[in-house]
Amino acid sequence: MRDGFIRVAAATPDVKVADPVFNREQTQKMIEEGKRRGAKLMVFPELGMTAYTCGDLFLQDTLLESAKREFEKLVDSTRGTDMLVFVGLPWEKDGKLYNVAAAVCRGNLLGLVPKRNLPNYSEFYELRHFTPGNEEPELVEWRGRFVPFGSNILFHCTTVPDLTVAAEICEDVWVMDPPSIAHAKAGATVIVNCSASDETTGKNLYRNELIAGQSARLVCGYIYANAGEGESTQDLVFGGHDMIVENGTVLAMSKRFENGIIFADMDLERLRNERRRMTTCVIKDPGERYDVIDFELKKEDIELKRPIDPAPFVPSDERERSSRCEEILTIQALGLKKRLAHTGGKRAVVGISGGLDSTLALLVTARAFDMLGLPRKNILSVTMPCFGTTDRTYHNACTLTEKLGAELREVNIREAVTVHFKDIGHDSNDRDVTYENSQARERTQVLMDLANQIDGLVVGTGDMSELALGWATYNGDHMSMYGVNASVPKTLVRHLVRYYADTCGDPDLAKTLYDVLDTPVSPELLPPEEGKISQKTEDLVGPYELHDFFLYYVLRFGYRPAKIYRMAKLAFAGQYPDAVICKWLCTFYRRFFSQQFKRSCLPDGPKVGSVAVSPRGDLRMPSDADRRVWMDELEALAPAERNE
């Protein structure tokens, strides 16, 4: 359970209607399987000890007494099992019958949660047999001691403080005011649901949306265990549709119409951090209306089986990715459209290098001009060759401008930069940071002055990955009048350009865009070698796919370095050695902290995703914050994995 991960399970065992002995045996087998596979929380279906479809047999003492005897055996069988288990069964209290979820841990019954909302329509007639449960817990006697009985019970793990579990039963989540809402407000981080929801055409789709939506709304984990094969098919069929969801994301889903167990590694820290950052997510003290029942689980490490996407900014599904690219391009263009309309601007200036970022900026600018009904020839596309410019990038910049219908202007800055070197007494053979940044600042000066000449706006080209690393020249490419790429990470820039190439309908334009995509990322500030780019950004600061992975989890969830490192090793297994990942993670933190001053004065630009670095929005970070505690944690890793 290191780093907040806990393995959970939803199980649908084989059942026989009105046979508690068989049902208990099958439940025990699945608990043993869950134990073997490291589950710490396991949920079974509604009324699983008897089967849900017993009908009027629920009024028979023989069935109820058998269910209670077998339940006692089941509880005893868990004495050596380090797991919190929820099992469904009928429970008689004060002459009334209740449909309950029983919480069991290490041979103890911790509490009984009754179903509050009983359906009495169509094929469901629960009010014929059961009584709606109470909210505020009362005590019932069981084996010579008293346990709480009521909906408002929180099961809190003292050894894993982020784990607080509450339960509801089937229909409870389908009503207008589900109990899980109050449970989450009282502090529950995981909701379990012992359910018996039948299968009708299309119902599974609604069920998917319902459970995922409830999990997202409550910022919680949700474990849904449904009745399956073995239930009576007199009028209904049950499909064993089980789900494990985390804040709206489905971690695991069973194949319908097949009984079995699904497992997932839930991230409790992710839930806690998400709630912490959401000021509208208000967790109140449960007070007297809730009973909080403590239990313990051993803190054991697990080998994560959770899938970890190496490209968290980029949808893995191709159709979703295309839809997302179209949406992002539209958001970028709308941002620039508003800025141009507000200022009354009819012209824009874009510095075009033949690289990915400036290509995307020009594509977005063209789209914004189309939205405004302005001719694309009003876009001034400026290429500014200097010491490091290669023929490949130069020709791509020119061709791209021509194909998009913008105006092309070339301003060779070699002579201006050489004069500047003389003015400041810099040896042009010294290829240091002054040599590089002088070119970047000269280019920005040219763009700004041209914008003044034509009464236009300079459109920025720098992306979020560069801003996170500070890989931008202060008051050089760092500055513009509107930065359309400011919240687009480098890994996403590639997909946006590729999407445009795939959908533009112009074979020549597409060919140029594909060549831009194949060009190594470079600022081209150092002279080429044999006509080819000599300065490759990723050789200097590290692979952008790694840095974007780090950036996402640092800013989106506030994860600690060791957890990000652990996740990166899984996400990039077989692609990067552990030591390489650790090296670049150290580089990321070092640059991220030291370069905040560049982000503190960023130009305006549109936010397109859940992560951004604008000082006016998502990242209110002091420019002189110390990185020591983050680096100390990285230093604590194995010596072979450190960036020595």
User: What are the angstrom distances between the C-alpha of 295 and each of 85, 291, 292, 337?
Assistant: 12, 13, 10, 57
Residue 313 included in any domain: no
- Both tokens assigned to 393: 């990038």
Is residue 308 assigned to a domain?
no
Q: Of 295, 329, 362, which one is at a domain's C-terminal end?
A: 295
Whether the Cβ atoms of residue 184 and residue 159 lie closer than 8 Å to each other:
no
Residue 46 a catalytic site member: yes
Same domain, 282 and 340: no
Listing DSSP states for 264-319 in one string gives EEEEHHHHHHHHHH-TT------GGGSEEEEE----------S---S-TTS-SSHH
pLDDT in the model for residue 74: 98
Same domain, residue pair 330 and 286? no
- Minimal CA–CA distance to 228: which of 6, 7, 30? 30
pLDDT of residue 643: 46
* Residue 170 appears among annotated catalytic residues: yes
Same domain for 377 and 434, yes or no, is yes
Q: Classify 263 as helix, strand or coil.
A: strand
Tokens at residue 550, please? 């780090």
pLDDT in tens, 455-465: 999 999 999 99
Determine the average pLDDT of the residues in 373-386: 98
Rounded Cα–Cα distance for residues 550 and 568 (Å):
8
Please write the tens of the pLDDT for every residue from 576-627: 999 999 999 999 999 999 999 999 999 999 999 999 999 998 999 999 999 9
323, 259: one domain: no
Residues 534 and 408 in one domain: yes
Rounded CA-CA distance 548/557 in Å is: 14
Question: What is the helix (H) or strand (E) element at residue 261, kind and residue range?
Answer: strand 260-267
Task: Say yes or no to pLDDT of 155 above 90.
Answer: yes
| DSSP class of 4 | G
Residues 290 and 402 in one domain: no
367 and 270 assigned to the same domain: no
Residue 207 sits in the same domain as residue 104:
yes
In this predicted model, what pLDDT tens digit does every residue of 291-332 receive, in sequence order?
Answer: 999 999 999 989 998 999 999 999 988 899 999 999 999 999
Starting at the earlier edge strand, list the strands of the sheet with 190-195.
249-253, 243-246, 221-226, 190-195, 164-169, 153-157, 291-295
Range of the domain at 214: 2-295
Query: Does position 158 have pLDDT exceeding 90, yes or no?
Result: yes
Residue 309 lies in a domain: no
The catalytic residue among 35, 40, 46, 231 is: 46
Give the pLDDT confidence score for residue 639 in this predicted structure. 54
Question: Which of 229-238, 450-459, 479-488, 514-523 is predicted with the least confidence, judged by mean pLDDT?
Answer: 514-523
Collapse the DSSP code of 147 into the 3-class scheme (helix H, G, I; strand E, B; otherwise coil) and give the result. strand
What are residue 88's phi and psi, to 5 degrees? -95, 140
User: Is 441:474 a contact under the CB 8 Å cutoff?
Assistant: no
Is residue 310 situated within a structural domain? no
Residue 503 domain flag: yes
**Alpha-helical runs (H) found in 158-218:** 179-185, 203-218
Work out the end-to-end distance of the chain between its first and last CA atoms, rounded to an integer number of angstroms.
Answer: 29
The CATH number assigned to the domain holding 474 equals 3.40.50.620
Per-residue pLDDT, 644: 41
Q: What is the mean pLDDT of residues 125-142?
A: 95
| Residue 77 included in any domain | yes
Same domain, 163 and 289: yes
* Average pLDDT of every residue of the chain: 95
Q: What is the pTM of this model?
A: 0.93
73 is catalytic: no
Alpha-carbon gap, residue 19 to 612, rounded angstroms: 57
- The pLDDT of 143-156, averaged and rounded, is 97
Neighbours of 127 (CB within 10 A): 12
Are 233 and 276 in the same domain?
yes
Catalytic residue, chosen from 54, 105, 157, 170, is 170
pLDDT at 457: 98
Q: Residue 306 domain-assigned? A: no
Q: Which two tokens stand for residue 91?
A: 């429970």
pLDDT of 122 reads 65
Among 555, 517, 523, 557, which Cα is nearest to 541's?
Answer: 523
Buried b vs exposed e over 324-335: b needs ≥16 C-beta within 10 Å? Answer: bbeebbbbbbeb
User: What Cα–Cα distance (Å) separates residue 313 from each residue in 198, 325, 455, 491, 566?
Assistant: 37, 11, 36, 7, 19
Exposed e or buried b per residue across 167-179, where buried means at least 16 C-beta atoms within 10 angstroms of its C-beta: bbbbbbbbeeebb
Q: 641 falls in which pLDDT band (50, 70, 90)?
A: low
β-bridge partners, 197: none
Distances (CA, A) of 419 to 308, 414, 416, 424, 427: 52, 9, 5, 9, 11
Q: What is the pLDDT of residues 331-347, one digit of tens each?
A: 999 999 999 999 999 99
Block residue for tokens 């001719």: 375
Mind listing the pLDDT tens digit for each residue in 531-583? 777 677 888 899 999 999 999 999 999 999 999 999 999 999 999 999 999 99
Give the model's pLDDT for residue 600. Answer: 96
Are 382 and 526 found together in one domain?
yes
Residue 135 belongs to domain with CATH number: 3.60.110.10
pLDDT in tens, 29-59: 999 999 999 999 999 999 999 999 999 999 9
Share of the chain above pLDDT 70, in %: 98
Distance CA 28, CA 30 (A): 5
Choice among 54, 70, 105, 115 that is catalytic: 115
Same domain, 91 and 137: yes
Two tokens at 516?
A: 């831009």
- pLDDT for the residue numbered 342: 97
Structural domains counted in the chain: 2
pLDDT of residue 280: 84
Hey, what amino acid is at 140? V
pLDDT level of residue 525 (50, 70, 90 thresholds) = confident
Residue 524 confidence (pLDDT): 74
Tell which of 260, 295, 330 closes a domain. Answer: 295
Orientation of helix 318-343 relative to helix 490-503, angle to 10°: 90
Which of 295, 328, 348 terminates a domain? The answer is 295
Q: Is residue 300 part of a domain?
A: no
